[in-house]
Amino acid sequence: MIVTYTTSGNITEIVVDFSDENVELVGRTSVVGDQQKAEAYLPFFERDLRRNFAHLFPQPEQTNTMGGVE
Amino acid sequence: MGELRYKDSVTGALVVPSGSNGAIKTQIASSAGAELFTSSNPGKVVVDGVSVNITAPSADTITATPVTGVKTVTATAAEIFAGASALSGRKKLLIRNDDQAVRMRVGASSVTQQSGFPVEPGAVVEFSFDAATAKAIYAISEGAAITVEVWES
């Protein structure tokens, strides 16, 4: 995930680009505050994007943990 | 069954109700399209005991595919929208506070945990926009991080 911060006045824009994960998704938001505030908010923004656009991300392979019938 | 039409009072052309060229003229037509009441064949329409709703495209009419999403609102004021970024040309923004105890506040970038429009737990707030003018809406939790549901269209 490539993250870019741009601060203008008391607003910091966050741009996250998932192209390095081979996912065509770019998220863009802004927070009130400096880059430090934006960095603190980033994990929530990233989680929301991965949840709302789960269909774009490769799903982990299912493993059978039940053991099955011998 | 007949239908209710709107005619431009100056040109006489059928129009979508918009109020252009003065008052809207109401024309009663048959299902075949013929005007039922004319100056040579006057009639009367009585609307009694019923309600009439006339709907025309307006700023509130949804024309774009809606976007829905789950967002986390924290103690840092952040822009709120449903997708990966604010929907371009949006007309509606609905936010439901899914938390059962924590209130959030919404408003401009000046919103704080003490100021801004309060959205109680379980409540829904709705914003209407001029699609041609992008306006960012910010949200902040009054306490811990909370989950909200968002609709944009």
Does residue A27 lie within any of the structural domains? yes
Strand partners, B140: B105
> Across the A/B interface, how many CB contacts are shorter than 8 Å?
55
Strands of A1-70 (E only): list them. Answer: 2-8, 11-17, 26-32
The partner residue sitting opposite A31, judged by closest CB among B70, B78, B145, is B78
The domain containing residue A41 runs over which residues?
2-54
pLDDT one-digit tens code per residue, B53-79: 555 555 566 777 899 999 999 999 999
Q: How far apart are CA B13 and CA A61, in angstroms?
A: 64
**How confident is residue B42, by pLDDT bands cut at 50, 70 and 90?**
confident
Phi, psi values for residue B74, rounded to 5°: -110, -170
Does residue A32 lie within any of the structural domains? yes
Q: Read off the tokens for A69.
A: 């019938």
Chain position carrying tokens 């994960």: A21
Is A44's Cβ below 8 Å from some Cβ in B?
yes
What was the pLDDT predicted at A44? 98
Does residue A20 lie within any of the structural domains? yes
B3-8/B117-119 β-pairing: unpaired
Does residue A50 lie within any of the structural domains? yes
Decide: B119 and B104 in contact? Cβ < 8 Å.
yes
Q: How far apart are CA B68 and CA B148, in angstroms?
A: 11
Q: How many domains is chain A partitioned into structurally?
A: 1
Instruction: Give yes or no for residue B6 having a pLDDT over 70.
Output: no
| Predicted model pTM | 0.70
Does residue A12 lie within any of the structural domains? yes
The partner residue sitting opposite B84, judged by closest CB among A27, A32, A40, is A27
B92-97/B146-152 β-pairing: antiparallel
Does residue A34 lie within any of the structural domains? yes
Strand partners, B138: B79, B107
Q: How far apart are CA B120 and CA B134, in angstroms?
A: 26
Does residue A14 lie within any of the structural domains? yes
ipTM of the complex: 0.85
Question: Are A30 and B78 in contact (CB < 8 Å)?
Answer: yes
Task: Kindly report the average pLDDT of chain B as a whole number.
Answer: 83
C-alpha closest to that of B145 among A26, A48, A23, A34: A48
What was the pLDDT predicted at B135? 94
Does residue A61 lie within any of the structural domains? no
pLDDT one-digit tens code per residue, B80-105: 999 999 999 999 999 999 999 999 99
Decide: B132 and B123 in contact? Cβ < 8 Å.
no
